[in-house]
Amino acid sequence: MEHPSEAKLQRKLSPLNVWALALGSIIGWGAFVMPGNTFLPNAGPVGTAIALGIAALIMICIAFNYDYMINHFPVAGGEFTFTNASFGPTVGFICAWFLGLSYLAIVPLNATALALIGRNLFPDLTQWGYLYSVEGYSIYTGELILAIAALLIFAVMSIRGISVAGKFQTALALGLVGSIALLAGATLLSDSASVANMAPAFAADEAGNLNYGGILAVIAVAPWAFVGFDSIPQAAEEFNFSHKKSKIIMVLSILIGAALYIILNTITAAVLPNGYNSWVQYIADTKLDVLPESLNGLSALPTFNAAKLLLGNFGLLILGVALVCAVLSGIIGFYMATSRLLYSMAKEQVLPQWFGKLHPKYNTPSNALIFVLLISLMAPWFGRTVIGWVVDMSSIGAAIGYGLTSASAFVQMRKNGAVGKVMQLNAALGVVFSIFFAALLVVPNPWAYLGPQSRIALLIWCVLGAVFYFVSRKKKA
């Protein structure tokens, strides 16, 4: 299927580049802090491994539906293109509106995560020039400069060509995997680590019983934890290889992403300071900030503590390299995904044609990238707390994208009649799983229900979407 535009995106992404885009988008700051604040408290080390294994299988099930659609619609736009072709412009707009927020919010989230790296590892470097606080989060001049510089540099890199960004992204992804592999090797050889520290294998409720709800809570974060593998269809128009390889690339990115989450969580539980012989009391104490002074102010970040206990400051350096690779690759990955989504929407006349213009020299959607940059530059001024509300709410966007892609795959399979019942069943399961994820976020429950601020942000975004849709429709008429 040819794109209706005369100008073409450049086909310069290799399979390794595309895998790096997906993995770099999947693994971000959260992979390094969730072991202490989400994974271990809710499910324990083995419970988390099981939950993430189940989540990865669900994501692979959904990825098969993406693969089917990529091979039938190998153009930029991903979920929007699939939904627009299968259900028409209204449903396509709904998909793109929520998915666009999901992608757009993660760009500044990663940029402000650079400040958190500096705040925890090199506080004197960036934590200067206090300006004000927003919802308890302090804004510093040094951290603002760092976030703004990162957003500008990677916007320019993305405009200068997908080939440049793809190669840099590949280096970052390999650096991420290599750094975490080094920490895993150090854990296996270190006296600070012990399998005994990982008992109990599962988190327990107040009555001491196995907390199945906690395992469900970890599974519930799957749309957020694995968002990024779906950046692959956004870049489909820029593959320099057969689209039939997209399935294995998506599966590998999901499996390696799940493995990195599990490795970091396991290291956090297995490597404990002196005086602790179980992760349970240790994680409780990190929340109270009552760990030994030797941990140098990192007591609220048990994964950081583990790196320091393993290899001293060198361990923190390795973890810092992994973190920087994860954060920068997330910025590049979601610059690409968001701009291609906006570009595709402009080509289908859902957005003004300005978004669909390509750079005359580099053939990249430069206007869309500039728009993403301008929106992202506003976010650091509001602090991580406010951005966090938007990101929590934007998990709905990921679930909607997964569900509508699976539904589109089901419709196209029935229409084309070229696949068996198993693939159709898989498409139907993708819809069911996506509804389950969305329900966990919007239906009151003790595991994954959105906080009040995130619910308000979701309502505002829905109202804005309705206004934009009817105004743009009126203009078209």
Can you give the pLDDT at residue 376? 92
Q: Output b/e per residue, 96-113; b: 16+ Cβ within 10 A.
A: bbbbbbbbbbbbbbbbbb
Classify residue 393: in a domain, yes or no: yes
State the pLDDT at residue 64. Answer: 95
Element (H, E) at 338: helix 313-347
Angle at 221 between CA 176 and CA 300, to 5 degrees: 65
Cβ within 8 Å of residue 383, ≥6 positions away: 112, 133, 134, 135, 137, 138, 139
Instruction: Please report whether residue 269 resides in a domain.
Output: yes
Is residue 7 included in any domain, yes or no? no
pLDDT on residue 269? 94
The answer to whether residue 1 is domain-embedded is no
Q: What is the pLDDT of residue 159?
A: 94
Per-residue pLDDT at 6 exceeds 60: no
Give the pLDDT confidence of 167-203 residue by residue, as tens digits.
999 999 999 999 999 999 999 998 888 899 999 989 8
323-362 pLDDT, tens digit per residue, is: 999 999 999 999 999 999 999 988 888 888 899 999 999 8
Name the average pLDDT for the chain.
87
Q: How many domains does the chain have?
A: 1
Domain limits for position 299: 15-476
462, two tokens: 């829905």
Question: Is the pLDDT at 5 greater than 60, yes or no?
Answer: no
The 10s digit of each residue's pLDDT in 48-100 is 999 999 999 999 999 999 999 999 998 888 899 999 999 999 999 999 998 88
Identify whether the C-beta of residue 440 lies closer than 8 Å to the C-beta of residue 447.
yes
Structure confidence at residue 56 (pLDDT) = 95
pLDDT in tens, 150-164: 999 999 999 998 888
| H helix runs in 122-245, sequence order | 123-126, 141-159, 162-189, 212-220, 222-225, 231-234
- Establish if 5 belongs to a structural domain: no
pLDDT number for residue 4 = 42
Answer whether residue 8 is part of any domain: no
Q: Is residue 222 part of a domain?
A: yes
Does residue 232 sit within a domain? yes
Lowest-confidence pick of 8-22, 195-209, 370-384, 420-434? 195-209
Distance CA 150, CA 131 (A): 20
What pLDDT sits at residue 453? Answer: 85
Distances (CA, A) of 23 to 89, 231, 259, 274, 326: 30, 10, 11, 35, 9
Number of other residues whose CB lies within 10 A of the CB of residue 453? 16
* pLDDT reported for residue 442: 87
In the three-class reduction of DSSP (H, G, I as helix; E, B as strand; rest coil), residue 298 is classed as coil
Domain of residue 262, CATH code: 1.20.1740.10
Chain length of the chain: 477
Banded model confidence at residue 299, pLDDT cuts 50, 70, 90 = low
